[in-house]
Amino acid sequence: MASPHLPFLSFPKTPPPPPPPLSAPRSLNLRRPRAANAAAPPPDGVGPAAPTRGDRFLGHQLATEAAARVLVPEDADRRRRRKEKRRALAREPPGLASCYGCGAPLQTDQEDAPGYVHPATYDLKKRHHQLRTILCGRCKLLSHGHMVTAVGGHGGYPGGKQFVSAEQLREKLSYLRHEKALIVKLVDIVDFNGSFLARVRDFAGANPIILVITKVDLLPRDTDLNCVGDWVVESVVKKKLNVLSVHLTSSKSLVGITGVISEIQQEKKGRDVYILGSANVGKSAFISALLKTMAYKDPVAAAAQKYKPIQSAVPGTTLGPIQIEAFLGGGKLYDTPGVHLHHRQAAVIHADDLPSLAPQSRLKGRCFPANDTDVELSGNSLFWAGLVRIDVVKGSSETTRAFIFYPVVLFSFQTEVGVTLTPPTGKERAEGWVGLQGVRELKIKYEECDRPACDIAISGLGWISVEPSGVPSNSLDDNVEEEYDNGELHLMVHVPKPVEVFVRPPLPVGKAASQWYRYQELTEEEEELRPKWHY
């Protein structure tokens, strides 16, 4: 018997048709009805073969490839153009050279503005392709010890037309969060809370951060840096900032600099390294210290020392990102303009008074009342350089041994309420002085008699350690114990309006601190996760 005509079973007898061209997937051809059958559907069992799984897979692959050929270059192009635009926004226009000392664009028009260079010098250097070796007029003055402010319009003083604003400087850092970089964040130990830059992730993005504490040479004599390291790490953990490690350093004595260099070399992985921090924390000085130390082994760093950024006691020295060829193995080092924070004392005093905020030598605790005097605390006020007034509403010399001032600025004590406060540079400036409109009420309880209760830190000025009368606990009789339990200090701290007052665990400084400081008790897991400190 003749078998019925079944086309889909007969193909093994004839050679297979040649594969269709790649641009027309087979599955589409197979779905097309034959011309003869166009009017009516074929009877059951005699229609075109359905696309196999392989056909469908091949069709899908071809369609994806075709789409990728059209879309990917466009996408990549758009991404590249966006990145270039960001970089162009952040950096100065190409061809416009900057002063190597401060990063301000060079200009020949305004003599009293940053970046000024005499037109003849500019032309000569330009002809010899040496614009990168120019130091602007302001940087020359700064390097000779003159104090020339360039950042204004932030907080108290109005600035002048030649001033760069704090917002403009922030804008120059805005591209950093999109870069792949290693961030070295600097914090000044004598103004730890004021210079901490809590919102550093706004600038750093998700980039890794090494935390460097600067100016440890200014801490009081005989300070144990292990205690300070533990205190810093604990503060960083409380602030929930994720850092690779903490380094205690001094750009003056070069303490801790070698440790930071090893960590930078280890973590850099070909990326650029940015030195970031609030104004005047010592970024440019830190770069000098890095170059000086690296120069022993690295000829690139040795060469970079010739044109290094300028450092000065005036906040707002660096005015633009400065690129430095510092590493033999690739990746660049960048100095950046400091972030000017509105809550620091520097933001409210007159530009001429700024140099007085720069500590000249190692801080020394000043005790009030002095050790040999017996002064009733309640009802008295302590004045700090006309910048801070502390009214003691309630306090007893039996529970409070002293306020130990660690002043960045020199000051004198007064014991009368209502004495006219004067700015550091004298009475004639008092008219323009914003005054002490900000007030913070503090109630401090003594829980232990053998260690300071807390520090009161004034942003940009220094801190006051509040100490109980310090009777050793083994000689306490019951009455004294009771007094300690009830010992309370009630203070009103008056500061210029935006200046911040921080209450923090006491910073362990001086010889006695190594006796009263208690290291954090940690589980093994906490110990593992906690950043380590080095110096």
Binding site for ligand GTP (CB under 6 A): 214-215, 217-218, 250-252, 277, 279-285, 311-313, 315-318, 337-338, 358
Q: How far apart are CA 275 and CA 80, in angstroms?
A: 26
Three-state SS letters, 474-493 = HHCCHHHHHHHHHCEEEEEE
Measured from the CB atom, the residue of 190 and 493 that comes closer to ligand GTP is 190
Applying CB under 5 A, the residues found at the interface with Mg ion are 283-284, 317-318
Measured from the CB atom, the residue of 193 and 280 that comes closer to ligand GTP is 280
Q: Rounding to the nearest 10 degrees, give the CA dihedral for residues 199, 226, 190, 233.
A: 10
- Residue 408 touches which member of Mg ion, ligand GTP, none, C-beta under 5-8 Å by kind: none
Measured from the CB atom, the residue of 30 and 358 that comes closer to ligand GTP is 358
Token readout for 67 is 């789409």
Q: From residue 476, how far is each of 450, 466, 513 by CA, in Å?
A: 11, 20, 21
Measured from the CB atom, the residue of 187 and 501 that comes closer to ligand GTP is 187
- Residue 377 touches which member of Mg ion, ligand GTP, none, C-beta under 5-8 Å by kind: none
Pairing label, strands 272-277, 322-324: unpaired
CB of 435 to ligand GTP, least distance (A): 26
Measured from the CB atom, the residue of 241 and 276 that comes closer to Mg ion is 276
CB of 501 to ligand GTP, least distance (A): 23
Name the packing angle between helices 283-294 and 257-268 (round to 10°). Answer: 80
- Which 3 state secondary structure label does DSSP give 152? strand
Measured from the CB atom, the residue of 313 and 480 that comes closer to ligand GTP is 313
Give me the residue whose beta carbon is nearest to ligand GTP.
Answer: 338
CB of 101 to ligand GTP, least distance (A): 10
CB of 217 to ligand GTP, least distance (A): 5
Q: How far apart are CA 193 and CA 460, in angstroms?
A: 9
Q: From residue 78, how far is each of 64, 71, 205, 312, 374 by CA, in Å?
A: 20, 11, 22, 42, 74
CB of 153 to Mg ion, least distance (A): 19
Measured from the CB atom, the residue of 230 and 335 that comes closer to Mg ion is 335
Q: How far apart are CA 481 and CA 470, in angstroms?
A: 12
Query: Residue 351: how many CA atoms within 13 Å on its side-chain side?
Result: 16
- Residue 99 touches which member of Mg ion, ligand GTP, none, C-beta under 5-8 Å by kind: none
CB of 452 to ligand GTP, least distance (A): 24
- Residue 315 touches which member of Mg ion, ligand GTP, none, C-beta under 5-8 Å by kind: ligand GTP
- Contact indicator for 279, 315 with CB cutoff of 8 Å: yes
Residue 306's nearest CA partner among 50, 130, 49 is 130
SS3 content of the chain, % helix, strand, coil (to 5): 35, 20, 50
- Residue 488 touches which member of ligand GTP, Mg ion, none, C-beta under 5-8 Å by kind: none
- Residue 285 touches which member of ligand GTP, Mg ion, none, C-beta under 5-8 Å by kind: ligand GTP
CB of 129 to ligand GTP, least distance (A): 27
- Residue 193 touches which member of ligand GTP, Mg ion, none, C-beta under 5-8 Å by kind: none
In this structure, the number of other CB atoms found within 10 A of the CB of residue 186 comes to 25
- Residue 344 touches which member of Mg ion, ligand GTP, none, C-beta under 5-8 Å by kind: none
Measured from the CB atom, the residue of 218 and 390 that comes closer to ligand GTP is 218
Q: How far apart are CA 404 and CA 446, in angstroms?
A: 16
CB of 510 to Mg ion, least distance (A): 30
